[in-house]
Amino acid sequence: MTTTRRIKRIFIEAGAEDYDMTRRVLARLPGVPVEVIPHREVLRPRAGTPAAWIDAAKSTLLLAVQKGPFWRPCPGTRDYICCGYQVLQVGLNCPLDCTYCVLQGYLNIPAITLFVNVEDLLAELDRGWAADPHKVWRLGTGEFGDSLALDDLSGLNARLLPFFARQPRAVLEIKTKWHRLEPLLSLGPNSQVIFAWSLNPPEIIREAERGAATLKARLEAASRAAAAGFRLAFHFDPLIYFPGWEDAYQRTVARLGRAVPAGAVAWISLGGLRFLPPMRSLIHQRFPLSRIASYEMVAAPDGKLRYFKDLRIDMYGRMGTWLEKALPGALLYLCMESPRVWRAVWGWAPEGKDLAMLLDGRVLPAGK
């Protein structure tokens, strides 16, 4: 099933009617009820937690104009090593439904929002690059939703890919758990675009990533992207502990190594499952059979629940060994971890902007 067919209702916020993306979405969803609303606030639920309305939110689309900035630096967290990532907020929420999705705790509108004013986004990017022409920018659209899951509706990536192709010091990371990218393949080769898949073993995908592509489909999509001349990245984030995790992740890493050429991989991140404490009860309410929020976790300095440090270190260390064997030379990094954990895993920790510079080095074409 495509994600498009999951949409059962469309709201258009006043002011968003006269945009190409709005027309495109409506043309691709004939027969789906459409309502123009004066302001998105009228959709805001008056009572109840997101558990009461989030299922409906996954099949409702809100087309709106982004009035704030699209481009936001990833906030990072004190005490943890930051990679200097830049976030493009092109929408909010997604049609997939991962048990652990942190967006569940942030949503206040029962809909998937798509921002239709793409020209404003492109102008903002141009202004940002012009303000600091020597800086390297790593930008991504996958922090507030899936970068690919609604692309057949929005057509956004077909606008962004050629735009980034002209920017030698910027790279766009398309982070996804989806697999349909055929319309974009003809836009390669393009070294300024990195297709990035979030990966987990098949048993976790079945249990905790409802509606997302299978591991097989993600790896096949990655292979097609590499063959079309795009670079790749992978995120084992969240890494999830369960009895037998070693075998499951080792097999997954081996499949990854067989599916893609090591030379196409820009980076691979590792990050243990983490979320703010209220998420635990939200997960139990929405997914009563899920075991992933039941394992022991402790409150970390950033207020999030995480696995015990020794378990995280063990998981990262083993994953690192398996990944180095499967994809020799790939740049591995830990997402949102402390210098102590870095040192325990790999014997060193990046200081200051070291990690950002390492990743930036993967963005620049050779010799720049």
Point out which residues bind ligand SF4 (CB under 6 A). Answer: 94, 96-98, 101, 103, 145-146, 177
CB of residue 237 vs ligand SF4: minimum separation in angstroms?
10
Nearer to ligand SF4, 57 or 253 (CB): 57
> Closest Cα partner for 29 from 72, 49, 59?
59
Contact 318, 253 (CB under 8 A): no
Cite the DSSP H helix spans in 100-214. 118-131, 151-154, 156-165, 182-185, 202-208
Element (H, E) at 326: helix 309-326
Residue ranges with strand state E in 15-93: 34-37, 60-64, 71-73, 86-88, 91-92
Nearer to ligand SF4, 100 or 342 (CB): 100
CB of residue 91 vs ligand SF4: minimum separation in angstroms?
10
CB of residue 157 vs ligand SF4: minimum separation in angstroms?
16
Nearer to ligand SF4, 100 or 249 (CB): 100
What type of residue sits at position 259?
A: A
Residue ranges with strand state E in 93-143: 97-98, 112-115, 137-140
10 Å CB burial of residue 71 (0-12, 13-18, 19+) is middle
CB of residue 93 vs ligand SF4: minimum separation in angstroms?
7
> Which phi-psi region, left, alpha or beta, contains residue 102 (left: φ > 0; alpha: ψ -120 to 50)?
alpha
Helix, strand, coil % (nearest 5) of the chain?
40, 20, 40
Nearer to ligand SF4, 96 or 170 (CB): 96
**CA-to-CA dists, residue 223 to 3, 90, 230, 285, 315, angstroms:** 22, 26, 10, 37, 26
CB of residue 94 vs ligand SF4: minimum separation in angstroms?
4
Nearer to ligand SF4, 178 or 342 (CB): 178
Nearer to ligand SF4, 8 or 340 (CB): 8
Nearer to ligand SF4, 177 or 304 (CB): 177
In whole angstroms, give the CA distance from residue 70 to residue 203: 35
Residue 39 three-state SS? coil
Residue 60 three-state SS? strand
CB of residue 276 vs ligand SF4: minimum separation in angstroms?
15
Nearer to ligand SF4, 146 or 337 (CB): 146
| Size (the chain), residues | 368
CB of residue 176 vs ligand SF4: minimum separation in angstroms?
7
CB of residue 23 vs ligand SF4: minimum separation in angstroms?
25
Nearer to ligand SF4, 146 or 360 (CB): 146
Q: Write down the residue that tokens 């073993």 correspond to.
A: 201
CB of residue 333 vs ligand SF4: minimum separation in angstroms?
20
